[in-house]
Each structure stands twice: as C-alpha cells, then as structure tokens.
Structure 1
Amino acid sequence: MSGGSYNYLYLAADLADLGQQRGDLRAMSDRLAELGYAEGAAAETRKLLALLEEAPVRPDLAAVWKAVERWDSFDGGEDAVREALAGYQGDKKEAA
C-alpha cells in the first residue's frame, strides 16, 4: 500500500482529527507551497492550522466540562459545577 507520508491526513473527518495532526498539516502546507502552483491550497491549509492553534481549550473551560461530566456520571455534584463556572466566569470578566 502506498501513501501515508502525512499519516493519511486526507482521511481527517473533522477538527478533532486535524487537531491531532498539526505537524502533518504544517508539512502538507510546506509541500503545497513548494509546488509553486498550489499556493491557494497551501494558504488554506495554513489558515486551518492557524485556527487550530488559536483555539486551544482553556483550562477553566475544561474544568467546567470535567465538573459536568463528573456530576452526570454520579462522581460529583452541582456544587462542583457551580465552583468551576465561577472560575470560568471570573476569568472571562477579567479578559474583557
């Protein structure tokens, strides 16, 4: 079987898949740019990579998700969700 130079990047179905393949995206963007006639595809690949890098999950948002997940699986409670939300909302106010 041939291919796989970019870990089958073309099979990525969504941003979650692409998020795990940032190095492959960089390599593909570079390769497209090297071709000299695929600058549009290279630019779009770079733009997608930039979007992935600009949008990491904030730790305070992850804490909210964790608290809700634990509550829904009966490993935590509403108080933990409220506490996580207070930290999340406090950080958002400071950032504004």
Structure 2
Amino acid sequence: MKNTVLKMTIGLGIMALAAQQVQAQARNCAPRADVLQRLAETYGEKRRGIGIARQGAVMELFASDQSGSWTITVTMPDGMTCLVASGRAYEQMADVLPPNT
C-alpha cells in the first residue's frame, strides 16, 4: 500500500516538476523551514510521500486528512523549497495499479 502511494506520488511530482519547476522557483520559493511551518499551521498538512528528482532535488507530497488539501514541493540542495502544485480532495489510495504492458 505504501509503495503504491509513494510511486504515484513520485510520478505526479516528477510530471508537475517538469512542467512547472521554472515558474515555481521564480514565484513560490522560500527556506524549507518556513514552507513546512506554513503548510502545517495554515493548512494542517503533513508529509505523505517523498522522492528524489533531478539535480539532487527532493520532491515531497504534503496533505491534510481533515481538509483534504495537498501540496507538492521541491527542495533544492541549497535549502530553498518551491511550491510546485496544490489542490484539494486528497485521498490516500490502497488500490494496486495495473501492471504496465
């Protein structure tokens, strides 16, 4: 179950990163501690998944069980964290994905 959620999270994060990384870094970045504090205090989000992206970047998925909000962040090696995507209606899935053919 955890592996499936992690794989889905990584896949979504990589796609979002590839499409939006340049724009996100230009507008929505701050030191990691500041971003994590805001996600926790303002949205009640906790880390639900993590993966390694290009150039040593770390992609993380944060979500709230109570509000259903979610956020994907990318943290660069210099400690700056950028918001890549966010949304609502987060649900943790336990479904097994079909094999690739």
Q: Choose between structure 1 and 2: higher helix proportion.
A: 1
Question: Which structure exhibits the higher relative contact order, with contacts defined as CA atoms closer than 8 Å and separated by 6 or more residues?
Answer: 2
TM-score by length of 2: 0.19
TM-score by length of 1: 0.19
Asked which structure has the greater CA Rg, the reply is 1
Q: Choose between structure 1 and 2: higher strand proportion.
A: 2
